[in-house]
Amino acid sequence: MAILLFLVPFAAGLAAFVIKSDRLRRRLLFSVACAHAVFSLYLCLFPSGGEDYRWLWFGLDALGRYFTAVFSLLFLCASFYAVIYLKEEKSRPREKKEEGLLFNNAPEAAFTGCLLVFLASMSLLALSRHFGLIWIAMEATTLVSAPLIYFHRQRSSLEATWKYLLICSVGIALALFGNLFLAVSASGQGPGTEISIDRLLGPGVRLDPLWLKAGFIFVLVGYGTKMGLAPMHTWLPDAHSEAPSVASALLSGALLNCAFLAILRFYQLCLANGLGPFCRELFLIFGILSMAVAAVFIIGQSDYKRLLAYSSVEHMGILCFAVAVGTAYGSMLQAANHSFLKGALFICAGNILAGFRSKKIADVRGIAHIMPWAGVLWFAGILAICGMPPFGAFLSEWIILKAAFSSGNLWLPAVYLFLLGVIFIGMTGTGIRMTFGVPSIPEGKKSFLSLLPALLLLLLSLFLGIYMPAALDGAVSGAAALLGGQG
């Protein structure tokens, strides 16, 4: 049954390429997103025995269920925004302020189709039990998201698309090496051992530690490129700033988490073979480096979509840091909060961009006066993503801090707090300057409908911060239990 999570959006995506009517296509996008979200949420919160969704190399364990539910909810909100956005884009050929050139967008059918196939390939990734299949799904997400970035047919988005394609393809090629190394390390189990999670986590399986270590390094660097870990993150700010905001929200909120999921799959194997400390050390290095790089580029950033992109680099660093200090629970919770908040912020950014016609922070002043809803949501989102209570990110970052303290090494919480503090100052400073003050344009767009998904996503994160129902807690701990339990 769970395979429907892949098949339905895939079929709908193919259909979207040939459907002529705009209205029908938009309805298809939204209804598939609704069905996907409802089904995956149901699977996540009410797992019926868990193990019976298994067929060939497909199956949803607690980890897969949790990640699917998170990106599916984000996709639902993003697709609602996409429908409104596409309607607006269709009505006028836009002018890009900086270059003064008229440009046309890519055909809407291709955009919608790619969105749906993108959802399908992320579901495939979460469903896969075979490492080869995980790799195929990961590469597929790159290929179908490239046209999403290139939606505005203009020079800068083309440049971003090229960097994205090349850097991520090379990264994923390295991850393929990692998979092959895994197969070598599994060869002791007899010829032709399937490199599937269930086979390799089975009783009595010992993997060759040397090749497994080498494999983990390659997978971490390879999928880490896709996840946006520094120093392999260079494609990320370009792609996130040039893509239309719907695509940025999905790239940042959904795709990065999926890459993290692929790394975690490998980490599960390493844990079972006693390589936990080795992996956590690597997670720690990449985690802190990513947070530090993000902090440097957030201070002094001049483009607000790039600001959000660097904030994503920071949060990916936090996810790795959390696993490194031993709180998979905190990492899972943080992943969900990051998805929802970053989705909300990118949708706000899309609205601000539509009103102010500029991505430069310096050009945007006084959002709160002329676009009150956008201003409120933007500022609340910035505070939330920096870890202000009562939003969920506060809770998860607090759990991670506690784990860092109890790890015994006082440097870890000190560095973590320092970097979070620097980023907090950088982001809220920018947020205040953009939200308040004398407006830089006379009149903004006052559309509440296109901000509704951002409001919903913010409320979701708020909900995670103040109330944790038992079913949700069960889902998060279930996912964390696969990664060595909570610390």
- For 21, what's the count of Cα atoms within 13 Å in the CB-facing half-sphere? 4
* Residue number with CB closer to other proteins (161 or 312): 161
Task: Say whether residue 456 binds other proteins (CB under 8 A).
Answer: no
Task: Say whether residue 306 binds other proteins (CB under 8 A).
Answer: yes
Task: Say whether residue 170 binds other proteins (CB under 8 A).
Answer: yes
Task: Say whether residue 177 binds other proteins (CB under 8 A).
Answer: yes
For the chain, how many helices (H) and strands (E)?
20, 4
Among 34, 201, 205, 214, binds other proteins (CB under 8 A): 214
Residue 123: is it exposed, middle or buried by C-beta count within 10 angstroms (0-12/13-18/19+)? buried
Please give the Cα distance from 257 to 138 (Å, whole number).
Answer: 12
Please give the Cα distance from 73 to 70 (Å, whole number).
Answer: 5
Contact 193, 209 (CB under 8 A): no
Task: Say whether residue 211 binds other proteins (CB under 8 A).
Answer: yes
Please give the Cα distance from 312 to 194 (Å, whole number).
Answer: 35
Question: What is the secondary structure of 272-327 as a DSSP string?
Answer: HTT-HHHHHHHHHHHHHHHHHHHHHHHTT--BHHHHHHHHHHHHHHHHHHHHHTT-
Among the listed ranges 178-186, 198-206, 393-401, 445-453, the one in contact with other proteins (CB under 8 A) is 178-186
Among 50, 96, 169, 463, binds other proteins (CB under 8 A): 169
Among 173, 201, 376, 415, binds other proteins (CB under 8 A): 173
Total of residues contacting other proteins (CB under 8 A): 52
Task: Say whether residue 194 binds other proteins (CB under 8 A).
Answer: yes
Task: Say whether residue 205 binds other proteins (CB under 8 A).
Answer: no
Task: Say whether residue 440 binds other proteins (CB under 8 A).
Answer: no
Nearest to 113, CA basis, from 17, 26, 5, 9: 17
Spatial CB neighbours of 390, under 8 Å, sequence gap ≥ 6:
462, 465, 466
Among 183, 353, 415, 456, binds other proteins (CB under 8 A): 183
Task: Say whether residue 135 binds other proteins (CB under 8 A).
Answer: yes
Task: Say whether residue 273 binds other proteins (CB under 8 A).
Answer: no
| Beta strands 54-55 and 94-95, pairing class | unpaired
Q: What are phi and psi of 409, to 5 degrees?
A: -95, 110
| Beta strands 54-55 and 102-103, pairing class | unpaired
The footprint of other proteins on residues 313-372 (CB under 8 A) is: 360, 362
Which residue shows structure tokens 């480096």? Answer: 289
Task: Say whether residue 286 binds other proteins (CB under 8 A).
Answer: no
Among the listed ranges 72-80, 158-166, 259-267, 476-484, the one in contact with other proteins (CB under 8 A) is 158-166
List contacts with other proteins (CB under 8 A): 130, 132-133, 135-136, 139-140, 142-143, 146, 150, 153, 155-156, 158-163, 165-166, 169-170, 173, 176-177, 180, 183-185, 187-188, 191-192, 194-195, 208, 210-211, 214, 237-238, 241-242, 297, 300-302, 306, 360, 362
